[in-house]
Amino acid sequence: MSTATNAPLTIGDQAPDLSYLSFQGAQHHLSEFWADSPALLIWLRHFG
């Protein structure tokens, strides 16, 4: 994660990044989603 603050994020702040492994095993960053276009992020509460 690139943001090192405990203050809650608010409108206008820079979205924090996340490094993750895709299911193909490749390293990616969440910021790739907003690098070239706007992005909609959805956090799902439940898992299955």
Partner 1 sequence: MEALAQLREQSPELENLGMQLACIVQGDAQEAAEFCGQYQMAEKCIPDPQKETYRKFGLDRATWGSLLFPSPELKKRRKENRAAGFAVSMKGSLKTHCDILLLPGAAIVAKGGKILWLHRGKNPGDLPAAEVIVAQAKKTLAR
What is the contact surface with partner 1 in residues (CB under 8 A)? Answer: 1, 3, 8-16, 18, 20-23, 25, 30-31, 33-48
Cβ neighbours of residue 29 closer than 8 Å, sequence gap 6 or more: 17, 18, 19, 20
User: Least distance (Å) from partner 1 to the CB of residue 35?
Assistant: 8
Q: Is 21 helix (H, G, I), strand (E, B) or coil?
A: strand
User: Least distance (Å) from partner 1 to the CB of residue 7?
Assistant: 9
Q: Is 19 helix (H, G, I), strand (E, B) or coil?
A: strand
User: Least distance (Å) from partner 1 to the CB of residue 45?
Assistant: 4
